[in-house]
């Protein structure tokens, strides 16, 4: 196994550790993550029309995503605390039903900072909490919803440069 592929969150003794990034150069770091919530078409229509009892579902999920990104080091044990420069959250509808007749809401989150380590975990945490928030706000009418395809789409910055998900194979393209 070459050095680039070694797991960095373990000490020589095999114990979990926070990686020391003090020797790394601060650079602009950007990460994009996405995920999908599959739900009944009627549930999506209620979200779209603002007829959910708990309020504006996507507005609440947007705020939850940003709050989650900011709290990532409290949730992921070996994650560094970062001074996030920004977190963007975008929602889009998937109108084509899947094999179960469910449509979807896709979230894409982008986290940015200037620092010594990447923001992949912040982007992934933001996407997952946005989807969980939508689930929570809609579960009373649609318990069959499911979260799927939570994944890193892109990361930029640092020594490893740019990585983008290849949509056909899921392999590194950068």
What residues are labeled active site?
A: 136
Go through 126-146 and write b for each residue having 16 or more CB atoms within 10 A of its CB, e for each that does not.
Answer: bbbbbbbbbbebbeeebeebe
**Residue 99 to residue 96: CA distance in whole angstroms:** 10
Tokens of 168: 């056909």
* Torsion sign, CA atoms 54, 139, 103, 63: positive
């Amino acid at each position: 196994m070459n050095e680039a592929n070694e797991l960095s969150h373990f000490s020589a003794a095999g114990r979990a550790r926070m990686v020391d990034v003090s020797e790394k150069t601060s650079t602009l770091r950007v990460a994009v993550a996405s995920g999908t919530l599959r739900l009944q078409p009627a549930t999506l229509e209620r979200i779209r029309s603002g007829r959910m009892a708990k309020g504006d579902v996507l507005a609440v999920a947007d705020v939850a995503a940003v709050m989650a990104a900011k709290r990532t080091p409290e949730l992921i044990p070996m994650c560094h605390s970062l001074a996030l420069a920004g977190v963007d959250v975008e929602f889009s509808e998937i109108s084509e039903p899947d094999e179960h007749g469910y449509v979807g809401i896709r979230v894409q989150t982008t986290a940015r900072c200037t620092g010594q380590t990447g923001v992949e975990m912040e982007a992934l945490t933001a996407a997952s909490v946005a989807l969980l928030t939508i689930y929570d706000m809609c579960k009373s009418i649609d318990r069959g919803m499911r979260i799927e395809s939570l994944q890193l789409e892109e990361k930029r910055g640092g020594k490893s440069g740019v990585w983008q998900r290849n949509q056909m194979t899921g392999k590194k393209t950068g």
